């Protein structure tokens, strides 16, 4: 059996994910360092939704075997060169990675904040520098190869929108590699008109 370079990367990432996730069960009591960006407020919020890194890659939903009802109904869109890698076949979980400067992910939705969950920079080479944008305005830029004062890797970057209406939160690769494992969307209160 001959492995291509891409196939080898996929195998290595799969092994790393399997090993990394084996320890996640004990982390629920460990506070996770989070970088906060945007207009940080304490808005009223109703619920949160966790999703993996699947989404539209240059206008085509990936993975292609996923059925999404309606066109552009999913909040995650990638532009540039991105690879989506299945990390957990049983739960059908994907991560997204890119090494291309200018590759971008856009999150569009009605949310008070969104959390970008990155893979631990100690698990892959060339962790890069990324910038975050809110409705086209830059809100911050960070090296992904950083640790908090506690020694833990900073893997979560939270962008507050300061809104309860539609917002676009973007992340752009400035240098190096970015590996995104998923997102958490936090929504404003749901108002039911009677």
Residue 67: inside a domain, yes or no? yes
**Adjacent-strand bridge partners of 131:** 141, 172
In a domain, 100, yes or no: yes
Instruction: Give how many domains the chain has, as a whole number.
Output: 1
Closest Cα partner for 111 from 164, 189, 53? 164
In a domain, 61, yes or no: yes
Residue 173 lies in a domain: yes
> Is residue 109 assigned to a domain?
yes
What pLDDT, on a 0 to 100 scale, did the predictor assign at position 35?
66
- Which residue did the predictor score with more confidence, 169 or 44? 169
Six token digits for residue 109 = 């939705």
* Domain extent for 22: 5-187
For 97, residues 6+ apart whose C-beta sits below 8 A from its C-beta are: 13, 82, 83, 85, 119, 177, 178, 179, 180
CATH of residue 70? 2.60.120.260
List, for residues 50-94, the tens digit of each pLDDT value: 888 989 999 888 887 666 665 557 899 999 999 999 887 777 889
Query: Has residue 105 been placed in a domain?
Result: yes
pLDDT digits (tens, 9 = 90+) for 100-150: 999 999 999 988 889 999 988 888 889 999 999 999 999 999 999 888 778
| Averaged confidence pLDDT in the chain | 79
With respect to residue 92, please indicate whether it lies within any of the assigned structural domains.
yes
Single out the residue of 105, 193, 113, 126 nearest to residue 160, CA to CA.
Answer: 113
Question: Does residue 35 or residue 26 have the better pLDDT?
Answer: 35
In angstroms, rounded to a whole number, what is the distance separating the alpha carbons of residues 173 and 18?
A: 26
Tell me what pLDDT residue 26 has: 35
Domain presence at residue 14: yes
Is-contact 41 160, C-beta < 8 A?
yes
């Amino acid at each position: 059996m001959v492995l291509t370079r891409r196939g080898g990367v996929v195998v290595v990432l799969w092994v790393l994910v399997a090993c990394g996730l084996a320890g996640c069960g004990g982390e629920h009591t460990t506070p996770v360092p989070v970088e906060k960006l945007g207009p940080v407020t304490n808005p009223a919020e109703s619920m949160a939704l966790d999703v993996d890194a699947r989404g539209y890659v240059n206008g085509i939903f990936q993975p292609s075997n996923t059925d999404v009802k309606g066109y552009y109904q999913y909040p995650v869109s990638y532009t540039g060169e991105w690879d989506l890698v299945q990390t957990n076949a049983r739960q059908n979980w994907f991560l997204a990675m890119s090494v291309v400067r200018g590759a971008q992910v856009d999150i569009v939705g009605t949310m008070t904040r969104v959390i970008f969950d990155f893979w631990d920079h100690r698990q892959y080479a060339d962790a890069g520098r990324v910038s975050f944008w809110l409705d086209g305005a830059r809100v911050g830029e960070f090296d992904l190869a950083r640790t908090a004062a506690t020694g833990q890797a900073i893997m979560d970057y939270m962008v507050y929108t300061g809104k309860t209406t539609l917002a676009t939160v973007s992340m752009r690769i400035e240098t190096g590699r970015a590996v995104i494992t998923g997102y958490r969307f936090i929504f404003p209160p749901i108002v039911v008109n009677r």
